[in-house]
Amino acid sequence: METLEKMLSSVRGNFTSIQLVLLGVAGFVVFKIFFNVLLWPRFLSPLRKLPGPPLGNPVTGVFLEIARAEPGILQRDWVKAYGPNVRAVGPLGIERILLVKPEVLERTLVSEWLDCPRPNFMRNILGMAAGWGLLTVTGDEHKLMRKVMNPAFSIPNLMAQTDMYYGPIETLVGTLKSQMTDQGSNPGGTEFHIYDWVSKVALDIICETAFGYKCNSLLDPNNELAIAYEQLLNLQSGENQAKITSFIVLPGVPALLRSDWAYRHRDLFRKFPLTSPLTTMLDTTRRIRVICAEILASKIAESAVVGSSDTASKKDIMSLLLTARTSEDKEQGQASPSAYRMSDRELIEQMLTFLGAGHETTASGLAWTLYLLACNQEAQSKLRAEVSEVISTNPRPDYRTLKELKYLDCVVQEGLRVLPPVPITYRKAGRDLWFEGVRVPKGTLFTIPIRAINTWKEVWGDDAEEFRPERWLDLPPSYHPTFSTLSFLAGPHGCIGKTMAVMEMKAILAVLIANFEFHPTYEGQKAKPTATVTMKPSDAMPLKIKMVTCQ
Ligand code: HEM
C-alpha cells in the first residue's frame, strides 16, 4: 500500500494537474476506440453470433466494399451466402444487421416503428437534399404531419389529378418524334439518353401535380426551377455523396449547414476537397426554396383575392394543404394548441420533399422499366398490344382505365421489383430489441436491402432476378403482400406517393409504348446502376427508339 502511494505521488510529481487530466482524457479516448473497433465487435457483441462477411479492416470495416459495389448487389450476395440474418461491421466497428424476413420487417417497419427510427445521418442527408419535411421527422411530429398530408394523396384526388399527366407526356412524345425526324430516317432506330427525357417529363408532372406550377422543362431550357434542380441532381455522384456523408456525420455540422451563416459563406466550402459539393448544394436548395416561396405566396394571395373556393377547386397538393390550413383556421378562430398547423416555412420544406422524393424515384423507375422492356421484346409487344387498343380510341386514359390494364400493372410492378429506384434504406434500434432470440443492442444500424428482398429466391424462385411480368398473374405461395417487395417500403414511413407514382408511370409507359418501340443500343446491353440517394443509370440509359407505324 505504501509502495503504491509512493508510486502515485512520484507520477503526480512529474505532471501538472492539467497534464494529468489531459492524459486521463487521451487514455479514455484510446480505450474507447480500442473497445468499439476491436473488443466489442470481435469478442463482446451479442450480434457476433450471426453469420456475415469477414470483419475486414478495423477502421473501414465493409465500407469500401459497399462503396465500390453496384447498389444492393453486395447485400444480395451476403443473403445468398449467409442466409437472411446477416451481420456486417462498418467503419469504426459500427455494427449493422440486414433485415430480410417478413416477421422482422413487420416489427421494424410497422408494429415497432417508433423504436426503429431513421438514423440521424440519413435524416440529415435527406433534409439537406430534399427538405426538412416528412422524410426527416419522426414520432408524434411525423404522425401529425402525415395525417395532414394523407388526403392530398387520396384516391379521389389522384383520380382528379390523372389528366394533369398528359400535357407533359404529349409534349415528350412530340419532342421525341420531331428529333427523330430531324435526324433523318434510321432503320435501326434513333438513340436517346432515355433517363434525361423521362427525368424532364417526371419533373414537369411533379411540379404541376404538387404545386400547380408549369415548369415546362421539356420545352424551356431556361426555366429557373428546372436549372436549379438539374444542378442539384448533377451533384449526385458516388464521390460527392461520400464527401457529403462523411462531413455531415460530424457533430454540429447539420445545424451549421441549416444556418443562414452557412448560406452566406457558402463559397468557403468550395475551398476544401471534403466540403466542395456543399457550395452547390446550399446554393441550389436556396434557389429552389425561393421559387417555392414565390409559388406559395402567389397561392396565398390568390386565395385571399378570389376566395378560398378557387384554391379549393385546384387539385395540386400545395393548394389542398393550403385549403386544409385555411379551413382549419376558420373553424377554430386560431389553431388549438393540440392541432398541427403547418407554417409557411414547413409548407416550403414539404414542397422540396415532394420534388426530392417524387421526381428522381419516378424517373429512375421509368428508365429501368423501359430498359427491361427493351431487353425483352416479347413483353414489350404484349404490352403494346394491350395499351394500343386503349390509346387508339382514348389517348388520355383516366385513373380507372389505367388501373384496369392488367399487363401494364404487371410490367410496372415487375420493373420496380427487379430494379428498385431505392435499393437500400436504413433504420436503427432506438432501444435494445430481441430478434429471433438474439439481443440487438440500442444503436445497432438496420440495413433494409430492398433490392435483395425484392429478388429473394426463397420467395420468388430460381428466376427471381429475371424480368418476367407474368409472374404477377400467378404469385408464388411464399409471396407476402406487404414484405416480399419493398420498393415503396411499408408501414407509417412507407411512401406516401406510392399510388401516385404507379399511376404516373402507367400513364407515361402506356403512351410511350403505344407510340414507340424501344431497343437496346447494342446486343447484351447491361444496366449500369449508380449509387446516389436513388439508384439511377450512370450512363443516362441510352436506348434506340423507333416510331410504331401501325397500332
Ligand atoms: C417510383 C417512385 C417512387 C419510389 C420507388 C418511392 C420509394 C419510396 C421509399 C422506399 C420510401 C421510404 C424511404 C425510407 O423511409 O427509407 C419513400 C418515402 C416517401 N416518398 Fe416515395 N417513392 C416514389 C415516389 C414518390 C412520389 C411521387 C412522392 C410524392 C409526390 C413520394 C413521396 C415520399 C415521401 C413524402 C416519403 C416519406 C414518407 C414518410 O416518411 O412518411 N414518393 N418513397
Q: Is the CB of 456 under 6 A from ligand 1?
A: no
Nearest CA to ligand 1 atom 36: 495
Nearest CA to ligand 1 atom 19: 495
Nearest CA to ligand 1 atom 39: 493
Nearest CA to ligand 1 atom 14: 425
Per-residue pLDDT of the chain (551 residues; tens, 9 = 90+): 566 677 666 666 677 888 888 888 888 888 888 888 888 998 999 999 999 999 888 888 888 888 888 999 999 999 999 999 999 998 888 899 999 999 999 999 999 999 999 999 899 989 988 999 999 998 999 998 899 899 889 999 999 999 999 999 999 999 999 998 877 767 788 999 999 999 999 999 999 999 899 999 999 989 999 899 888 888 877 678 778 888 888 889 999 999 999 999 999 999 988 899 999 999 999 999 999 999 999 988 887 765 555 555 678 898 888 887 766 665 555 544 445 678 899 899 999 999 999 999 999 999 999 999 999 999 999 999 999 999 999 999 999 999 999 999 999 999 999 999 999 999 999 999 999 899 999 999 999 999 999 999 999 999 999 999 999 999 999 999 999 999 999 999 999 999 999 999 999 999 999 999 999 999 999 999 987 678 999 899 999 999 997 55
CA distance 238 to 365: 19
Mutate which of 99, 495, 502 for ligand 1? The one with the most ligand atoms within 8 Å of its CB, which is: 495
Residue 308 carries which side chain, given as an amino acid letter? Answer: S
Q: Is the CB of 362 under 6 A from ligand 1?
A: yes
CATH number (1.10.630.10, 1.10.260.40, 3.40.309.10, 3.40.50.620) of 49-329+339-547 reads: 1.10.630.10
Nearest CA to ligand 1 atom 6: 488
Give strand ranges (E) for 361-476: 425-428, 433-435, 438-440, 445-448
Q: What is the per-residue pLDDT for 311?
A: 52
ipTM associated with this complex: 0.99
Q: Is the CB of 421 under 6 A from ligand 1?
A: yes
Residue 432, C-beta contacts closer than 8 angstroms, at least 6 positions apart: 439, 440, 441, 442
Q: Which atom of ligand 1 is nearest to the CA of 146?
A: 41
The CA-to-CA distance between both ends of the chain, in Å, stands at: 98
Closest of 73, 72, 51, 52 to residue 61, by C-alpha: 52
Look at residue 223 and give its three-state secondary structure: coil
Q: Is the dihedral of CA 45, 49, 51, 57 positive or negative?
A: positive
Closest of 116, 111, 67, 123 to residue 90, by C-alpha: 67
**Which grid cell sits at 50?**
450471426
Distances (CA, A) of 345 to 71, 276, 341, 350, 396: 34, 27, 11, 9, 36
Q: Is the CB of 497 under 6 A from ligand 1?
A: yes
Instruction: Give pTM, 2 decimals.
Output: 0.92
Q: Which atom of ligand 1 is nearest to the CA of 426?
A: 16
**How far away, in angstroms, is 236 Cα from ligand 1 center?**
18
Nearest CA to ligand 1 atom 15: 493
Backbone torsions φ then ψ of 209, nearest 5 degrees: -75, -30
Look at residue 535 and give its three-state secondary structure: strand
Nearest CA to ligand 1 atom 9: 488
**Which grid cell sits at 461?**
424462385
DSSP state of 525: P
Q: Is the CB of 134 under 6 A from ligand 1?
A: yes
Closest of 534, 529, 435 to residue 74, by C-alpha: 529
**How far away, in angstroms, is 349 Cα from ligand 1 center?**
15
Q: Is the CB of 245 under 6 A from ligand 1?
A: no
Q: What is the per-residue pLDDT for 492?
A: 96
- Check: CB of residue 15 under 8 Å from CB of residue 70: no
- Check: CB of residue 315 under 8 Å from CB of residue 160: yes
DSSP state of 342: -
For the chain, the residue count is 551
Nearest CA to ligand 1 atom 43: 495
Tell whether 375 is in a known binding site. Answer: no
Q: Which atom of ligand 1 is nearest to the CA of 206?
A: 30
**How far away, in angstroms, is 270 Cα from ligand 1 center?**
31
**How far away, in angstroms, is 135 Cα from ligand 1 center?**
8
Q: Is the CB of 358 under 6 A from ligand 1?
A: yes
CA distance 480 to 469: 17
- Check: CB of residue 455 under 8 Å from CB of residue 415: no
**How far away, in angstroms, is 134 Cα from ligand 1 center?**
10
Closest of 228, 172, 240 to residue 513, by C-alpha: 172
- Check: CB of residue 487 under 8 Å from CB of residue 345: no
The neighbour count for residue 423, using CB atoms within 10 Å, is 24
Q: Is the CB of 487 under 6 A from ligand 1?
A: yes
**How far away, in angstroms, is 78 Cα from ligand 1 center?**
26
**How far away, in angstroms, is 190 Cα from ligand 1 center?**
33
Q: What is the per-residue pLDDT for 337?
A: 46
Q: Which residues of 233-268 are buried (b: 16+ CB within 10 A; e: fewer)?
A: bebbeeebbebbeebbeeeebbeebeeeebeeebee
Nearest CA to ligand 1 atom 40: 493
**How far away, in angstroms, is 65 Cα from ligand 1 center?**
27
Residue 548, C-beta contacts closer than 8 angstroms, at least 6 positions apart: 384, 388, 514, 515, 516, 517
**How far away, in angstroms, is 356 Cα from ligand 1 center?**
9
Region of 540 (left: φ > 0; alpha: ψ -120 to 50; beta: rest) is: left
Q: Is the CB of 74 under 6 A from ligand 1?
A: no
**How far away, in angstroms, is 359 Cα from ligand 1 center?**
10
- Check: CB of residue 365 under 8 Å from CB of residue 505: yes
CA distance 401 to 503: 11
Q: Is the CB of 490 under 6 A from ligand 1?
A: no
